[in-house]
Amino acid sequence: MAAAPVLPAMARETPFPSDVMIRDGTAMETVENNHRFSSLALRHSRIAERVHIPWTAVGRAYLAWCPEAEREEILDLLVRQAGSGRFDRAALLAEIHATCARGFGVRHTRFLGGTQRNPSVADHLDAIAVAILAGPHLVGCINTMWPRRIRIEPGFRKRQLAHLRLAAEWIGAAAHDAW
């Protein structure tokens, strides 16, 4: 996996853990993380853990950078799963546009951190995520997380985003070479 050598290095630069995730249907699945290398243990995150796309920073980043046809396919699947009256497609499309403009995905403010295996889990974390591109191909996303309760000083997100973008670039280059 292209992320394996990058994540320990990232953990030396920032105490906040990261997950590398790929799309699986209407979920994002963890394929690698650096929680075991992070000096800040925020939650137990397992490989193969799955989270819902519309609520998560990684899911929103994925939707923002995936090809339009794939995005429409995902949105159609979400509508079928939730029912058209219970899924706000317009709100998610607005968030996708905001994600593109911002350059990174953010967690929905009401998302508590539940996974498909444990939907009632509340991890009290916040997260940002960026896309991992192997040349022109979207291969996944990488996030970083921190406790919502901490006060974020000016520049915090900018520094975390710099770490994420560098890691995504390295992982993408390694994946592109393996492509």
pLDDT tens readout for residues 4-19: 778 888 888 888 899 9
Q: Would residue 139 count as lying in a domain?
A: yes
pLDDT tens readout for residues 59-75: 999 999 999 999 999 99
Percent of the chain surpassing pLDDT 70: 94
Provide the H-helix boundaries in the chain: 6-13, 57-65, 68-82, 89-102, 156-178
Q: What are the tokens at 154?
A: 């000016």
By residue range, what is the domain housing residue 51? 6-178
Q: Would residue 37 count as lying in a domain?
A: yes
**CATH number, domain at 82?**
3.30.450.40
Q: What pLDDT score does 69 carry?
A: 97
What's the rounded Cα separation, in Å, for the pair 9 and 77? 37
Please identify which residue in the block is written with the tokens 């046809």: 69
Residues 28/13, Cβ–Cβ less than 8 Å: no
Q: Would residue 130 count as lying in a domain?
A: yes
pLDDT tens readout for residues 24-44: 999 999 999 988 887 776 665
For residues 155-168, average pLDDT: 92
pTM for this predicted structure: 0.92
Provide the mean pLDDT of the chain: 89
Q: Would residue 159 count as lying in a domain?
A: yes
For residues 157-179, average pLDDT: 88
Domain count, the chain: 1
**Contacting residues for 28 by C-beta, under 8 A, at least 6 apart:** 21, 22, 50, 51, 52, 53, 56, 58, 59, 62, 140, 141
pLDDT tens readout for residues 103-122: 999 999 888 888 888 888 88
Helical axes 68-82 vs 89-102, angle rounded to 10°: 140
For residues 126-149, average pLDDT: 94
Instruction: Please say if the pLDDT value at position 166 is more than 80.
Output: yes
Model confidence at 123, pLDDT cuts 50, 70, 90, reads confident
What is the Cβ-side half-sphere exposure of residue 146, based on CA atoms within 13 angstroms?
Answer: 16
Coil, strand, or helix at residue 43? Answer: coil
Instruction: Please say if the pLDDT value at position 141 is more than 90.
Output: yes
Q: Would residue 1 count as lying in a domain?
A: no
Q: Would residue 149 count as lying in a domain?
A: yes
Per the DSSP assignment, residues forming a β-bridge with 125 are 147
Q: Would residue 138 count as lying in a domain?
A: yes
Instruction: Please say if the pLDDT value at position 143 is more than 90.
Output: yes
